[in-house]
Amino acid sequence: MAKVRVGISGWRYGPWRGKFYPADLRQKDELAYAASRFSTVEINGTFYSLQAPASFAAWHDAVPDDFVFAVKGARYITHMLKLKNVEKPLANFFAQGVLALKAKLGPVLWQLPPNFIFNPEKLSAFFDLLPRTTRHALALARRHDDKVRKNGTLLKIDADRPIRHALEIRHESFRSADFIRLLRQHDIALVVADTVEWPLLMDATSDFVYVRLHGSRQLYASGYGPRALELWAKRITAWASGREAEGAHAGPAARARRRDVYVYFDNDAKVRAPFDAINLMKRLV
Check if the beta carbon of residue 110 is closer than 8 Å to that of residue 165: yes
For residue 236, pLDDT over 70 is answered with yes
Residues contacting residue 224 through CB under 8 Å, at least 6 positions apart:
213, 215, 216, 232, 265, 267, 272, 276, 279, 280
72-77 long-range contacts (CB < 8 A, ≥24 apart) are: 72/42, 72/43, 72/44, 72/46, 72/47, 72/108, 72/109, 72/111, 73/46, 73/47, 73/108, 73/109, 73/110, 73/111, 74/46, 74/47, 74/50, 75/47, 75/48, 75/111, 77/110
Instruction: Domain 4-284: state its class.
Output: alpha beta
Among candidates 65, 143, 53, which has minimal Cα distance to 96?
53
For residue 267, pLDDT over 90 is answered with no
What is the rounded (10 degree) CA torsion for 112, 118, 122, 126?
40
Secondary structure E strands in the chain: 4-9, 40-43, 68-72, 105-111, 165-168, 189-194, 208-213, 260-265
Q: At what angle do helices 87-95 and 134-141 cross, to 10 degrees?
A: 110
pLDDT of residue 219: 67
Sorting pLDDT into bands at 50, 70 and 90, what band is 1?
Answer: confident
pLDDT of residue 220: 62
Q: List the single range of 1-5, 73-77, 196-200 with lowest mean pLDDT.
A: 196-200
pLDDT of residue 197: 79
Check if the beta carbon of residue 145 is closer than 8 Å to that of residue 102: no
Q: What percent of the chain has pLDDT over 70?
A: 97
CA gap 168, 196 in Å, rounded: 15
Residues contacting residue 176 through CB under 8 Å, at least 6 positions apart:
118, 250, 251
**Which secondary-structure segment (H or E) carries 285?**
none
Indicate the pTM of the whole model. Answer: 0.95
List pLDDT tens digits, range 205-220. Answer: 999 999 999 886 766 6
State the average pLDDT for the chain: 95
What is the rounded (10 degree) CA torsion for 112, 114, 117, 121?
-10
